[in-house]
Structures are given as structure tokens and as C-alpha cells.
Amino acid sequence: MGKKLQNAAAQIESKLYDLQEASALVKQTAYAKFDETVELTIRLGVDPKRADQMVRGTTLLPHGTGKKVRIVAFAKGEKEKEAREAGADFVGADDVLEKIKGGWLDFDQAIATPDMMASVGKLGKVLGPRGLMPNPKTGTVTFEVKKAIEEIRKGRVEYKVDKAGIVHVLIGKVSFTVAQITENAQAVFTSVLKAKPSTSKGKYMKGATMSSTMGPGVPLECMTLARRVDSP
């Protein structure tokens, strides 16, 4: 652990912080020379190996992500035209698919119209592990191409519980105000809580931390929110 990280970690007390306190502390302890990303990490009491306990969804951050997102749209005909007019960075069908097969992955989000999924699905082994595969559950497989692109531009983020039962979601930049980070974090918490599987028993939200790219994790007091879901 470097001295800068040690000094930052020393500012965090042995307690759980509410969202506003944590947001202020994350800004205070960020020490990198670049505008660090702020991430929320939530540990859930689910079994990701069970299909009926997979936690996945999207939420619209009130203040966006602070990050320029490069969007590729798999579409043809009128929907291709719609995607271009809506501002997708890369649009096409077989030509874009061939480019990806060749190793090109210079994008952050992908959307596809349903009629393109038979072809896009063949790239599952490439796009899936990188979190780039369009999925109807996250609104990225849709004929409402313009709406999907606009929502991504406004700050729609996706989340999915990993094999360890943890959800990672970026919620902004350290240059955001404390209020902006707090409100974005609240939006994610609310969405994850609503996504609780009906088959999940016991404590759903086991813990959470907020951190910047280089900074230490700030432990969050999430029990008040969790009780809303865990209570009968």
C-alpha cells in the first residue's frame, strides 16, 4: 500500500457511513491527478448459481455517469437510420459483426433490434464475458432504438451480480458534488433493492462500500434500506 493510499485510508473511521457522509469522504480521499470514477459495490445474500436468484437490472442515474459512452447499434433498414439520427457512435449489421469477429471492441455499450439477435448471438463468447451482449432484460434488445440510446446517454447503467454475489456499479466522478454522488448512489440502491428475487431468503443486502478508482473503500450503512425489503 502506497503512502497516498495509506493517508487516505487513515481518514476512514471504523464505522458505517450514510450515503451523504460516504460521498463526501470519497471526494476527500481521492488523490489521483485524473478525475476518478466513483463506484458502488454491494454484497448480496443470493446464490448466483441459481437462475432464480440472478440479480440484474438497469437504473437511470439522476446526474449521469460523467463518462462519455461509445454506443454500437446492431440494426438495419429504418432502424439503422433511427440509430444514426439518435447519435449511436457505430451503426450497422453484418459489417459491424465482421469487424468484431476481427477483434474490434472499441465501444462501451451495445444495443440491437430483435431481428438482429440471431446474428449477434453468435458473438456471445466474445461479447458476453465483457458485459457487452445486448439483453432484453436490460432494455438493450429493442425496436425502440432511439429511446434506448437516449437513456444510455442520460446515464443509464446496468448491473449484474457476479459469481461471488457482488454487484459493481459506477455512479459518477469525484468531480461531482456530494449531492450528485449521493443521489446517484440512492438510485442504484433503490433499483437493486427492488430487484430482490422472491426466492432469496434471509438478509438480502449484506454490505456495501463506495470508493473512487484509486481511493480506499468507505463502508456504508445499508441496513435501513435493506430492512424495507427483508421485513415481512
CATH code of residue 31: 3.30.190.20
Residue 131: predicted pLDDT: 85
Q: What is the pLDDT of residues 48-104, one digit of tens each?
A: 899 899 998 889 999 999 988 999 999 999 999 999 999 999 999 999 999 999 999
Decide which of 102, 129, 153 is a domain's last residue. 153
Residue 67: predicted pLDDT: 87
Q: What is the pLDDT of residues 18-28, one digit of tens each?
A: 999 999 999 99
pLDDT over 90 percentage in the chain: 76
Q: Could you tell me if 95 and 160 lie in one domain?
A: no
Q: Could you tell me if 88 and 148 lie in one domain?
A: yes
Q: Could you tell me if 135 and 160 lie in one domain?
A: no
Residue 227: predicted pLDDT: 54
Q: Which three cell numbers stand for residue 108?
A: 462501451
Q: Which three cell numbers stand for residue 62?
A: 439522476
Q: What is the mean pLDDT of residues 106-135?
A: 93
Residue 232: predicted pLDDT: 42
Are the beta carbons of 100 and 123 closer than 8 angstroms? yes
Q: For the chain, how many structural domains are there in total?
A: 2
Helix (H, G, I), strand (E, B) or coil at 85: helix
Distance from the first to the final alpha carbon of the chain? 44
Are the beta carbons of 12 and 216 closer than 8 angstroms? yes
Q: What is the pLDDT of residues 72-82, one digit of tens each?
A: 999 999 999 99
Residue 44: predicted pLDDT: 94
Residue 231: predicted pLDDT: 45
Q: Could you tell me if 164 and 141 lie in one domain?
A: no
Are the beta carbons of 40 and 178 closer than 8 angstroms? no
Are the beta carbons of 150 and 86 closer than 8 angstroms? yes
34 occurs within a structural domain: yes
* pLDDT above 90: residue 214: yes
Q: Could you tell me if 92 and 197 lie in one domain?
A: no
Q: What is the pLDDT of residues 192-206, one digit of tens each?
A: 999 999 888 888 999
Q: Could you tell me if 85 and 105 lie in one domain?
A: yes
**DSSP calls for 162-223:** -TTSEEEEEEEETTS-HHHHHHHHHHHHHHHHHT--TT--S-SEEEEEEEESSSPPEEB--H
3 occurs within a structural domain: no
- Segments forming the whole domain that contains residue 134: 71-153
Q: Could you tell me if 136 and 90 lie in one domain?
A: yes
Pairing label, strands 56-60, 109-112: unpaired
CATH number for the domain that contains residue 123: 3.40.50.790
* pLDDT above 80: residue 224: no
Are the beta carbons of 86 and 149 closer than 8 angstroms? yes
2 occurs within a structural domain: no
1 occurs within a structural domain: no
Pairing label, strands 156-160, 56-60: antiparallel
The pLDDT confidence band at residue 229, using thresholds 50, 70 and 90, is very low
